[in-house]
Structure 1
Amino acid sequence: MQKLKMIVTTIFTLVLLLSFSTSTYAATVDSVLKAPEEGWTRFDDRTPELVYSNDDLVLLNNADTVGDYNKTVLGAKHKKKSEIKFKFEGSKIRLITNKSDSYSKKVAISIDGNTEYFSTWKESWSHQIIAYEKLDLDYGIHEVIIWTETPSSTVVVYNYRFDAIDIDGSLVDFNYVESEVPTTPEPEQPTEGRAILVVTMTTGLEKEYDLPMSDVNSFLNWYDTRDAGSGPAKFAINKYSNNKGPFSKRTDYVIFDKILTFEVSEYTTK
């Protein structure tokens, strides 16, 4: 009986340890990720927001792609730049590719003009691998361009195979141009018709601004317009001479979907 209790206790402990290790697992570069993690959305290589040339990339859907997301990939042709372009709104991105011992060791990715490199080489052929990730971008619209920097020296057919994109937001049309952020000119602040604007963010952070009512009304108009589904995603608030320090001007940008509540307390300086 004692021996049975010990066996049951050991099994229970192993189950708890296994559950803990599974729940705390986080995907990393070079690991297989067959579905996006919580808070991420996956977009397939067939997503219409991707811009690429059929002369450089081939749409593959055959017996070799059964291990890929939605069983499709883009094959980057050898001795071609194989450029893929898209824009997304968010702050994090992962590139899902195949990896093989015949693929390129240097593929370039430019995010908003900043270029980095990643490898699609691996000793054995693997599907749905995180080849690259960027987790610390400012939330907003980002332009991404991917291309083959150094072709594979042992290429069989393609330099690499591009499978999918994971992001924490959504893809947008590549021709999308973000509207200019409305700003308030820097004239002298009026002495009448002012308000304290307190904006509470979804994180619980409170931002307080002492503003003329014209600025507050601009904020309210922007919020209503964005809430109706149009207008820019962020709003610029001029801090005027408050805490200006050595700067000629200080501006706070608030993001629409990060706002929980706001309060307006009007007053006059008469």
Structure 2
Amino acid sequence: MNFMYLAHNYLTNFEDKVLPLLLQYGTKVLMSLLMFFIGRLLIKKVIGLMHSKMKLESIDPDVQPFLASLVRAALNIMLVLSCAGILGIETSSFIAALGAAGLAIGLALQGSLSNFAGGVLILVFKPFRVGELITVHGYTGYVESIQIFNTVISTTSHRTIILPNGSLSTSPVVNISRKGVIRLDMQFQVAMSNDIDVTRKAIKDVISECSFVQKDKNNDVLVGRLTDSAIVWEVKLWVNATDLDKTQYFMNEHIKKQFDSVGIQFPDPVITVKSIG
């Protein structure tokens, strides 16, 4: 008799108290689990599509895993917070804690994070690549390596320059190598007494002897301006970016030799004397 009474009370309590709770929270748990598994499948699909897109866009292989991991982590955090919200767990405190932690870490590592972000931008958008000749922050050199915090360039005088990516990603960069063939602008001054046609022929003879100059392009030899004592010649040559220095050295040396051989005079220095009083 007592057993039947206890069983009746148990069933009554189960129907009145436990069953409503199971129906209420069990539904939420099932919905949360369902959303979690569906979300995981969607995240996997998104990351796969992201990998395919990055390969099509020729994004640097070194940065692809990092970007994929970053997106995966962000999506997983959003998924967990969404599942917690379905269960009725207050997520605002978690979001606030994550925000406070992110702010503290960002303030502590402000410079490093700036360089890190700059490195990612350089690797993704490729304003320059390894092996290219660039001018930045007053330095001209070949890019040796693009690291996640710094970029290393080697100058033409074989000096190693290490530049932080944070400032590098926001500074004007002259990419000398990107076009392959570039124009070298040079100026030469001769005395006003020299014949223009003779001087032009002398300069063109030197250009024809220079193996670095692209002969199939329009290389100009122009009278740039006239001063009180000199004719300023502007010489515009098309050369490979890698031959820039060699062309300049060749032209300077052989222009002097050619001018000496045909009797072209350089202008004398002009000294202006002002009287005081």
TM range (shorter): under 0.3
TM-score w.r.t. length of structure 1 = 0.24
Return the structure number with greater relative CO, CA threshold 8 A, min gap 6. Answer: 1
The higher radius of gyration belongs to: 2
